[in-house]
């Protein structure tokens, strides 16, 4: 496990898992929200975003968190593990609102990029029905059978898995 792609709904814990895995594996961590948005929430043009990801995955070890289905193939073709944060809709909604309470809005430099508006709430509320099948199809097409795929469905399971990975890499 040297190249890990972490995907899942907003509020599912992707950034937390990325930070912890980066620490455990001594690998660089990239939060795609930090790469895609500037301080004023302007988006990086998609061709530059894709080129940036191609450069990131060329490194010998990395942990990258973020969904960004339009560029997911880049990460899936280069990784040796996919972690899908597969939490319930209620847990993801709780995650985005509790993150807002804990950290406030804006960019925090540690993977926390908070901006709650109706579009974010709608995305999180419909993720399991709309986006999850698309993500699963891409994992099946570009990673399944070639890499380890870990599905983490709740925070307790996630903490237990991270402890196991830490024990294996100590």
pLDDT score, position 39: 72
Single pTM value for the model: 0.88
CA distance 119 to 81: 30
**Alpha helices, H only, 5-71:** 14-25, 32-36, 46-57
pLDDT score, position 6: 98
**Chunked mean pLDDT (size 10), the chain, 170 residues:** 95 94 96 82 89 96 94 96 96 82 56 67 94 96 91 96 95
pLDDT score, position 130: 96
pLDDT score, position 104: 56
pLDDT score, position 24: 97
Strand order in the sheet with 28-31: 28-31, 62-65, 3-8, 81-85, 148-152
């Amino acid at each position: 496990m040297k190249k890990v792609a972490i995907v899942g709904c907003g509020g599912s814990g992707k950034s937390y898992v990325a930070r912890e895995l980066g620490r455990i594996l001594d690998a660089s961590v990239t939060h795609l929200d930090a790469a895609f948005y500037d301080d004023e929430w302007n988006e990086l043009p998609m061709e530059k975003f894709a080129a940036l990801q191609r450069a990131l995955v060329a490194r010998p070890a990395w942990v990258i968190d973020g969904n960004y289905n339009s560029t997911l193939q880049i990460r899936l073709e280069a990784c040796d593990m996919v972690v899908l944060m597969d939490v319930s809709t209620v847990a993801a909604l709780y995650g985005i609102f509790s993150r807002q309470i804990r950290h406030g809005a804006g960019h925090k430099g540690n993977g926390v990029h908070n901006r709650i508006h109706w579009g974010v709430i709608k995305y999180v509320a419909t993720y399991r029905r709309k986006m999850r099948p698309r993500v699963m199809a891409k994992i099946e097409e570009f990673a399944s059978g070639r890499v380890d795929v870990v599905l983490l469905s709740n925070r307790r399971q996630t903490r237990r898995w991270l402890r196991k990975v830490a024990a294996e890499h100590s």
